[in-house]
């Protein structure tokens, strides 16, 4: 056991939410320790970004680097709804950024972690947080972690849980609600070569296609040679298939065979990896903060990846969390107010996306019905229904709440009609 070290903030988890929170606090000169269980680069799912991530990545000075390293994503191509015709919406219709990226997450996450290091954050990899330290009043004061066969204790004025779906800290401190209607499973693999959706900009779109056997498929052109193809479906359907003697591979192959567009992308391709399977069950924690702690990213809440919003939600939450923590560190009397405000605004982001995804999840509506609902949500006066849709699902609609986040504000956050 080593001596106890003390920090302004200890961040648990070095995914996009943890690295961003740590980097922004480090940029302010705060004394931050980030503990990450794995050795980076490490594999992670979640490869397609929406343009709403850009303002936060701009704060980290990463946009040019992302342009150099990753594939541009110009929009979303859909096969969804009662009308059989494929349709698309492009980011440039929002009047803001015209593209985001599809990223190799091992590289993207390593870039973010190194950015945190560059801002003076002390990063320890292969550091597995195992326990929370608290005082007699239950206030969180630090964590215990294992590294290289040794146990360490560190204290901090705040502990941030950014440990993703592990919820390493928050599972001990708050309850979680599971969204039963989005109790899904994801099955995916990578294929090379693949047929892009088109020769032009649409070739950079994510494909989102509902399949008549149930669930939907994503097609993400992660690199020039490699497409990520995944199938999301209710866990109950997977259980039913298993009871009939079908494997996950059978379930995946059945969905691809029943698709219209996805199957054409990999018609000449071969899988380059083992089949991956993950639980994809949306959830949200009852509290996003408590005395001495705060959670961000998947550790606070996770929504089905239908519109690729996970990294946006996590990094946007991180940008607000860093500001709230900064206010609390500057003036401890503001702590509760700042962290309450963080939770309030973060929940608005979460609820808006969840609400629209729930509405959209039923593939048996006419396209106009989805678009009209999005148009109402963003109160968009433009006659082009797709503008409302893409403004909502790119995260651009929510930007004023994120970039304008003031932890000490008292007005109501801007919200959509629910």
Ligand X SMILES: Cc1cc2nc3c(=O)[nH]c(=O)nc-3n(C[C@H](O)[C@H](O)[C@H](O)COP(=O)(O)OP(=O)(O)OC[C@H]3O[C@@H](n4cnc5c(N)ncnc54)[C@H](O)[C@@H]3O)c2cc1C
Q: Which residues bind to ligand X, rule: CB under 6 A?
A: 12-18, 35-38, 44-49, 128-129, 162-164, 166, 168, 186, 278, 280, 297-299, 302, 305, 308-312, 314
Nearest-approach distance from CB 305 to ligand X, in angstroms: 3
Comparing CB distances to ligand X, the nearer of 128 and 365 is 128
> 75 is written with which tokens?
């929009």
Using only the alpha carbons of the chain, give its radius of gyration: 21
Comparing CB distances to ligand X, the nearer of 19 and 375 is 19
Nearest-approach distance from CB 293 to ligand X, in angstroms: 14
Q: Tell me the H-state helices in 10-69.
A: 16-27, 54-59, 63-69
Nearest-approach distance from CB 300 to ligand X, in angstroms: 8
Q: Are 264 and 254 in contact (CB under 8 A)?
A: no
- Tell me the β-bridge partners of 317: none
Comparing CB distances to ligand X, the nearer of 44 and 201 is 44
> 174 is written with which tokens?
């708050």
Q: Are 309 and 49 in contact (CB under 8 A)?
A: no
Comparing CB distances to ligand X, the nearer of 47 and 209 is 47
Comparing CB distances to ligand X, the nearer of 241 and 393 is 393
Nearest-approach distance from CB 366 to ligand X, in angstroms: 26
Q: Are 46 and 298 in contact (CB under 8 A)?
A: no
Nearest-approach distance from CB 319 to ligand X, in angstroms: 13
**What distance lies between CA 343 and its chain's CA centroid?**
17
Comparing CB distances to ligand X, the nearer of 146 and 367 is 146
Comparing CB distances to ligand X, the nearer of 143 and 328 is 143
Nearest-approach distance from CB 38 to ligand X, in angstroms: 4
Nearest-approach distance from CB 144 to ligand X, in angstroms: 10
Nearest-approach distance from CB 334 to ligand X, in angstroms: 25
Comparing CB distances to ligand X, the nearer of 49 and 285 is 49
Using alpha carbons only, give the angle 386, 223, 208 rounded to the nearest 5 degrees: 35
d(CA 281, CA 334): 35
- If 0-12 CB within 10 Å is exposed, 13-18 middle and 19+ buried, where does residue 64 land? exposed
Q: Are 413 and 344 in contact (CB under 8 A)?
A: yes
Comparing CB distances to ligand X, the nearer of 43 and 379 is 43
CA dihedral 411, 403, 165, 130 (to 10 degrees): -90
DSSP string, 75-143: EEEEE-SSS-S-EEEEGGGGSS-S-EEE--HHHHHHHHHHHHHHTT-EEESS-EEEEEEE-TTS-EEEE
Residue 227 CB partners (closer than 8 Å, separation 6+): 190, 191, 192, 194, 219, 220, 221, 265, 266, 269
Nearest-approach distance from CB 112 to ligand X, in angstroms: 9
């Amino acid at each position: 056991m080593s001596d106890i070290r003390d920090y302004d903030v200890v961040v648990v988890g070095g995914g996009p939410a943890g690295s961003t929170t740590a980097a922004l606090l480090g940029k302010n000169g705060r004394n931050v320790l980030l503990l990450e269980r794995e050795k980076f680069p490490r594999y992670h799912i979640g490869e397609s970004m929406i343009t709403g991530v850009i303002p936060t990545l701009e704060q980290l000075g990463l946009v040019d680097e992302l342009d150099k390293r990753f594939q541009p994503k110009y929009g979303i191509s859909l096969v969804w709804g009662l009308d059989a015709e494929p349709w698309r919406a492009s980011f440039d219709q929002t009047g803001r950024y015209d593209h985001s990226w599809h990223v190799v997450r091992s590289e993207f996450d390593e870039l973010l972690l190194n950015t945190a290091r560059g801002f003076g954050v002390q990063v320890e990899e292969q550091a597995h947080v195992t326990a929370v330290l608290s005082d007699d009043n239950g206030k969180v004061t630090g964590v215990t972690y294992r590294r290289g066969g040794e146990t360490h204790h560190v204290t901090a004025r705040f502990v941030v849980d950014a440990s993703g779906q592990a919820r390493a800290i928050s599972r001990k401190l708050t309850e979680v609600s599971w969204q039963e209607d989005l109790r899904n499973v994801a099955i995916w693999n990578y294929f090379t070569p693949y047929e892009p959706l088109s020769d032009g900009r649409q070739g950079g779109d994510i494909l989102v296609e509902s399949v008549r056997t149930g669930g939907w498929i994503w097609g993400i052109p992660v690199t020039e040679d490699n497409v990520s193809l995944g199938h999301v479906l209710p866990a109950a359907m997977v259980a039913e298939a298993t009871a009939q003697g079908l494997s996950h591979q059978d379930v995946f192959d059945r969905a691809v065979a029943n698709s219209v567009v996805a199957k054409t992308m990999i018609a000449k391709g071969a899988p380059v990896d083992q089949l991956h399977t993950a639980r994809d069950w949306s959830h949200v924690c009852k509290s996003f903060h408590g005395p001495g702690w705060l959670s961000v990213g998947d550790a606070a809440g996770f929504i089905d990846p239908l519109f690729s919003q996970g990294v946006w939600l996590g990094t946007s939450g991180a940008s607000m969390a860093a500001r709230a923590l900064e206010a609390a560190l500057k003036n401890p009397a503001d702590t509760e107010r700042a962290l309450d405000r963080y939770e309030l605004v973060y929940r608005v982001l979460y609820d808006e996306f969840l609400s629209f995804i729930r509405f959209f999840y039923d593939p048996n509506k006419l396209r106009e019905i989805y678009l009209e609902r999005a148009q109402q949500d963003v109160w968009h006066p433009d006659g082009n229904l797709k503008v409302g849709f893409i403004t909502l699902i790119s995260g651009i609609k929510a930007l004023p709440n994120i970039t304008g986040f003031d932890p000490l504000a008292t007005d109501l956050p801007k919200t959509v009609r629910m």
